[in-house]
């Protein structure tokens, strides 16, 4: 995962010329959830290493895109507050997610733990996309 994260960080740095894209954010989030779910079906150590590297790669791209989007779209007087809420959301939900993932992994094995993390992540992304599109439609009216 570390190697994938390093490569993702290098790619983000190389493409810093353009502003962050919401499509990149959504695509990377969906890819992460798909790769997490894919781990359920993998029984090869080498393939698992590649998939976990991919998770790290897209995780860095997602987090950097979200971070950049928040900072670029917030006014100067609120940027610190927005970033503290972002940090709270990112770090504050980790224990809850770890409890969820650890419980499934302990009860059903690591493959099911990865699958459930992928399914829950994917469902949450779909809900966020649906709510965002619904809000955009209401604003058009």
Q: Which helix (H) or strand (E) holds 36?
A: helix 22-38
Number of domains in the chain: 1
Rounded to 5 degrees, what angle do the CA atoms 48, 7, 90 make?
A: 80
* pLDDT grade for 16, boundaries at 50, 70 and 90: low
> 11 in the Ramachandran plot: left (φ > 0), alpha (ψ -120 to 50) or beta?
alpha
Q: Tell me the pLDDT tens digit for each residue of 75-106.
A: 889 888 988 988 888 888 888 888 888 988 99
Given the structure tokens 């940090």, which residue do they identify? 87
What is the span of the domain harbouring residue 66?
2-140
Instruction: Note whether 60 and 12 are within 8 A (CB).
Output: yes
| pLDDT digits 0-9 by tens, 37-56 | 999 999 999 999 999 999 99
pLDDT tier for residue 29 given thresholds of 50, 70 and 90: very high
Q: Which residue has the tokens 């695509």?
A: 27
Name residues whose C-beta falls within 8 Å of residue 67's C-beta, 6 or more positions apart in sequence. 83, 86
Q: Provide the pLDDT confidence category of residue 18 given band limits of 50, 70 and 90.
A: low
Q: Tell me what the mean pLDDT of segment 115-136 comes to.
A: 92
Give 138 or 28, the one with higher predicted confidence.
28
Strands (DSSP E) found in the chain: none
pLDDT mean over 7-16: 77
Query: Given a cut of 70, is residue 136 above it in pLDDT?
Result: yes
Query: Whole-angstrom Cα distance, residue 67 to residue 56?
Result: 16
The pLDDT of residue 93 is 81
Q: How many residues does the chain have?
A: 141
């Amino acid at each position: 995962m570390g190697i994938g994260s390093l490569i993702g960080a290098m790619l983000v740095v190389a493409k810093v010329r353009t502003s962050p894209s919401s499509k990149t954010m959504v695509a990377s989030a969906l890819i992460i959830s798909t790769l997490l779910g894919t781990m359920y079906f993998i029984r090869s150590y080498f393939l698992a290493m590649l998939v976990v590297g991919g998770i790290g790669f897209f995780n860095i791209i997602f987090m950097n895109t979200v971070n950049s989007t928040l900072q670029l779209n917030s006014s100067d007087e609120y940027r610190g507050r927005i970033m503290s809420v972002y940090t709270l959301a990112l770090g504050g939900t980790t224990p809850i997610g770890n409890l969820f993932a650890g419980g499934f992994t302990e009860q059903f094995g690591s493959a099911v733990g990865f699958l459930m993390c992928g399914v829950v992540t994917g469902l949450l992304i779909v809900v966020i996309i649906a709510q965002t599109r619904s809000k955009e439609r209401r604003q058009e009216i």
